[in-house]
């Protein structure tokens, strides 16, 4: 996509913030206090990272699964034991509130390793394939899956620790080496995870390349064996194209703009609580965050009133300490995008029910509920990635589903209704990768469930056995026990042509000439013996 084709507010924010790019990784979102810089990895050092990774991966790939699993379990236990250290880094660098630094980032590594083990172990088993003994006499075959080799993981900033579980753990568990390129906005958090993990593994098996987007681009030029990218459509398309040019398998996830469809028969208490959480968790900076609520007009007034009541009681800002509910935006670029989207909605006729403005020093932004939104607004058409919910009033679920399926992204959606059977029927009509009924987005942390999408979200798959094709490739082995030449091998003659013609007839139940097969086969055998004697 060219610069002129970018959505209007995304393009404006980029132009505005180009001069600020150098400072983004050095400011605390809480108070804009400078942080110690994280020195980038020199581009000329990247080829050596690949050399070390290949050397470490070769013996690692041949280890039994249990021997690869044990150090990952040990590393996960250490990550849990040192969670306070990780939480402190994430809170400082990204501004996460304490509860989310604990529950969303540092609490899950052991569960993730165990969950991935349950997915990977059966996927690695050799699969025997039955061959038709008439068509393929004396032969047997089986399929193994083998690791790709060295996997480059270009990671996002919004979940700088837990976001790595669904790529780094399965990559290593399946026998690969990993070169991790963290976001330039959160290098310390991801590096903390990677360094603890690397200490439990052979040297060179997990390495980190720090720096801006140029480092990620340069990593593709050293020709790794696979790539996992999570980030914006703008960058994701570039990654996918370059990987295709180099023949590198890749999984690309490029964002989301999830919709919640609120039916007239919803359980209002749960609906308000659930949509509040999945809109404002991580300050809305999640690809699976709810950004739009399509609400049945019959309950829209009550829904908006209840949401306003809840949101105005949330604690936001630096004065609440560990009791803070909603985090600041993680970087100034995202802060400007959120401001631009809200202002765009206001000028196009949306009602600001609550919020709608920055708070205090730092990158805090008030939880913002916008009513009477429509398709002309950026908060409906573009990824906001902030603590903002656009309410669109609809005449029932059919209109809501049509609207959700028109969105640029197609990662997830949710239906809120007491009638679960009806919810399931409606879910089948949503053109997204993940649908929840009376919940939202939590499956992103479940290794056994695919996390994927459609349209601008991209074609990548995280989690589940469906994601393993990024890390594994199939290898077929066929064993032939026969000692004589095959009937269908050279030299060709009229006997072979007649034999094939009769076999074709037999497939369509024409058996008139079947009686000739034994004689033709004996003739072919004599021909081959004479030729190769």
Catalytic residues: 253, 287
What are the backbone dihedrals phi and psi of residue 244, each rounded to the nearest 5 degrees, phi first?
-65, -40
C-alpha 501 chain-centroid distance: 51
What are the backbone dihedrals phi and psi of residue 494, each rounded to the nearest 5 degrees, phi first?
-65, -30
* Count of beta carbons in the 10 Å neighbourhood of residue 435: 19
Which strands form 412-416's sheet, in the order they lie side by side? 351-354, 368-371, 388-394, 290-296, 258-262, 412-416, 434-437
Q: Where are the alpha helices (DSSP H) in 247-296?
A: 268-280
Question: Does residue 450 sit in helix, strand or coil?
Answer: coil
Cβ atoms of 150 and 248 closer than 8 Å: no
Which residue matches tokens 């990993």? 178
Question: Does residue 525 sit in helix, strand or coil?
Answer: helix
Among positive and negative, which fits the CA dihedral 405, 386, 217, 86? negative
Q: CA geometry: angle at 423 spanning 420 and 429, to 5°?
A: 155
Q: Where are the alpha helices (DSSP H) in 149-230?
A: 165-173, 187-198, 213-221
**DSSP category for residue 300:** H
Cβ atoms of 398 and 420 closer than 8 Å: no
What are the backbone dihedrals phi and psi of residue 374, each rounded to the nearest 5 degrees, phi first?
-150, 180
Question: Does residue 386 sit in helix, strand or coil?
Answer: coil
Structure tokens at 29: 């979102």
How many CA atoms does the CB half-sphere of 312 hold within 13 Å? 9
How many CA atoms does the CB half-sphere of 419 hold within 13 Å? 10
**DSSP category for residue 328:** P
């Amino acid at each position: 996509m060219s610069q002129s084709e970018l959505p209007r507010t995304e393009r404006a924010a980029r132009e505005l913030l180009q001069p600020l790019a150098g400072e983004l990784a050095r400011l605390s979102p809480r108070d804009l206090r400078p942080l110690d810089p994280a020195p980038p990895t020199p581009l000329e050092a990247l080829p050596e990272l690949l050399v070390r990774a290949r050397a470490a991966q070769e013996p690692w790939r041949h280890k039994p699964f249990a021997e690869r699993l044990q150090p990952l379990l040990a590393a996960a236990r250490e990550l849990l034991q040192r969670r306070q250290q990780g939480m402190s880094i994430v809170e400082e660098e990204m501004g996460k509130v304490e509860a989310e630094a604990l529950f969303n980032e540092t609490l899950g590594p052991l569960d993730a390793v165990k969950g991935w083990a349950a997915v990977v172990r059966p996927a690695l088993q050799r699969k025997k394939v039955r061959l038709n003994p008439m068509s393929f006499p004396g032969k047997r075959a089986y399929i193994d899956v083998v690791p790709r080799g060295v996997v480059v993981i270009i990671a996002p900033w919004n979940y700088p620790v837990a976001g790595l579980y669904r790529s780094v753990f399965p990559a290593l568990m399946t026998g690969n080496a990993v070169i991790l390129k963290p976001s330039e906005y959160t290098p310390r958090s991801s590096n903390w995870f990677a360094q603890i993990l690397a200490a439990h593994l052979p040297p060179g098996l997990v390495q980190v390349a720090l720096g801006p987007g140029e480092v990620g681009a340069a990593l593709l030029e050293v020709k790794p064996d696979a790539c996992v990218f999570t980030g914006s459509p703008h960058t994701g398309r570039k990654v996918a194209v370059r990987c295709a040019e180099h023949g590198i398998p890749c999984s690309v996830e490029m964002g989301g703009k999830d919709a919640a469809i609120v039916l007239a028969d919803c359980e209002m208490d749960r609906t308000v609580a659930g949509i509040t959480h999945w809109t404002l968790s991580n300050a809305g900076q999640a690809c699976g965050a709810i950004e739009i609520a399509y609400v049945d007009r019959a309950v829209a007034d009550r829904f908006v009133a209840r949401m306003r009541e809840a949101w105005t009681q949330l604690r936001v800002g630096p004065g609440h300490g560990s009791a803070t509910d909603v985090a600041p935006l993680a970087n100034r670029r995202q802060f400007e995008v959120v401001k631009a989207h809200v202002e765009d909605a206001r000028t196009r006729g949306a009602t600001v029910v609550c919020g709608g403005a920055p708070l205090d020093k730092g990158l805090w932004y008030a939880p913002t509920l916008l009513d009477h939104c429509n398709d002309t607004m950026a908060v409906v058409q573009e990824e906001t990635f902030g603590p903002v919910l656009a309410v669109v009033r609809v005449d029932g679920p059919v209109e809501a589903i049509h609207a959700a399926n028109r969105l640029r992204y197609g990662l997830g959606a949710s239906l809120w209704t007491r009638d679960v059977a009806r919810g399931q029927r409606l879910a089948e009509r949503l053109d997204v990768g993940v649908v929840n009924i009376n919940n939202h987005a939590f499956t992103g942390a479940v290794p056994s469930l695919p996390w994927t999408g459609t349209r601008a979200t991209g074609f990548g798959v995280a989690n589940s056995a469906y994601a393993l094709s990024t890390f594994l490739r199939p290898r077929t082995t066929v064993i032939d026990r026969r000692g004589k030449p095959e009937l269908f091998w050279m030299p060709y003659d009229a006997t072979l042509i007649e034999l094939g013609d009769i076999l074709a007839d037999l497939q369509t139940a024409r058996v008139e000439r079947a009686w000739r097969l034994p004689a033709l086969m004996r003739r072919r055998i004599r021909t081959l013996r004479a030729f190769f004697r």
